[in-house]
Structure 1
């Protein structure tokens, strides 16, 4: 798969994920991981979701650059910067409207699950818990969907006092849907990148 095709899939994944997170915010729902943390902080101080998301993710890049490689880390940093920008633009472009919480949680789960899968399967990530999930998967063989689901659920539990029980339960439904898609359709971007390097070396030798 050439680089332009991968970049196109990553960008599509960022758009879908941004729409999913925006839809959650319309019903004051939240998500897990660093996206959930950024959402909760933005509910508390009405600040920019994009800025908080970028700042919350920075510590995780220490793990990424040490354990997952320089190029993967750079790609993830670019994805996080892009989604922070896209998500804030959606606040300007899409007016506020009412949507049923159940509908919002289902659609958001599908959008985020598909979006994150596209990003992860094409050599990038959205930082935070996704980097942690990839780390555990590559080092310990633990399914990254399971890691993400556990971490996300713990974050939702911590957010109950802010969004309330009903919103927290609908948020967990979103996480279940998204995590199921991520876990089912995952590929290892780290292994694919290594295979690409091997193929490039073979081509160079044959040439």
Structure 2
């Protein structure tokens, strides 16, 4: 696409709907297996495990402090799209478990599937000028300003979270969780390149 081509409203709506749906499915896999992850989603999941509160409301609340950065650094359009994506994910992750159940899902397969599904979800959201808030906003801002890939920023943050994770979950679960987070961030780091896809 050339720099003058922009996504239409319908294209943005479809892209964000796809991203939110796939991300919600990823959260379903994650929580079914008791995994943890990085970024604000990981923080929300850990709070959810510790308190018994639903992931959706916690995720929505955790993201609130990041909207100002999204507005100041990425613009009102990005902030609005991100707010819509986060709010939609918060609702969909509350509804989805009553419609999908897993009879068999091994940890290794679940971790890899979570990684690919969530990576595709985030790619769709990024390419339509949105994110799932939190560290995603910061990572995109850093990429815009410095060229340092968003996936690498998120991977560094995830690494810090996983340093403390063994105090909250058993080591095999943390190991599988790290595999899933690694797959997510490699998908983004390898594929999310502004020079290849510049429409917003």
TM-score, shorter chain, exceeding 0.5? yes
- What residue in structure 1 maps to residue 188 of structure 2? 182
Question: How far did residue 29 of structure 1 move?
Answer: 0.5
Q: Which structure dedicates a bigger proportion of its chain to helix? A: 1
Give me the whole-angstrom Cα distance separating, in 2, the residues matched to 1:40 and 1:96.
Answer: 22
Residue deviations 1:32-57 (CA, integer Å, cap 9, x gap): 10111111111111111000001111
User: Are the counterparts in 2 of residues 18 and 83 from structure 1 also a CA contact under 8 Å?
Assistant: yes
Task: Flag the structure with more relative contact order, 1 or 2, with Cα contacts below 8 A and sequence separation at least 6.
Answer: 2
Equivalent position of 1:38 in the other structure: 44
Structure 1 SS opposite 2:36: coil
Cα offsets for 1:110-154 (capped at 9, x unmatched): 100111111111111100111010111112221111001111121
Structure 1 outlier segments of 4+, above 4 Å: none
TM-score between both structures, scaled by the size of structure 2: 0.90
The equivalent residue for 1:29 is: 35
State the Cα deviation string for residues 5-51 of structure 1 (Å, max 9, x = none): 12101111111111111101111101110111111111111111000
TM-score, normalised to structure 1, is: 0.87
Number of aligned pairs?
Answer: 193
Which residue of structure 1 lines up, in the alignment, with residue 73 of structure 2? 67
CA distance in 2, matches of 1:63, 1:76: 12
Q: What pairs up with 1:149-164 in 2 under 5 angstroms? A: 149-164=155-170
What 5-or-longer segments of structure 2 have no aligned partner? Answer: 1-6
- Structure with higher Rg: it is 1
Q: 1:97 to 1:46 in 2, by over 3 A?
A: farther
2:145 to 139, 145, 150: 139
Name the residue aligned to 2:3.
none
Q: 2: distance between equivalents of 1:136 and 1:53?
A: 23
Tell me if the contact between 1:120 and 1:187 (Cα under 8 Å) persists in the aligned partners. Answer: no
Task: Quote the residue 2:175 is aligned against.
Answer: 169
Once superposed, what is the RMSD of the aligned Cα atoms?
1.8
1:116 counterpart (117, 122, 133): 122
Distance 1:70 1:19 in 2: 28
Q: C-alpha separation between the residues in 1 aligned to 2:128 and 2:39?
A: 20
Rounded Cα–Cα distance in structure 2 between residues aligned with 1:107 and 1:96:
13
Structure 1 residue runs of 5 or longer lacking an equivalent are 194-207
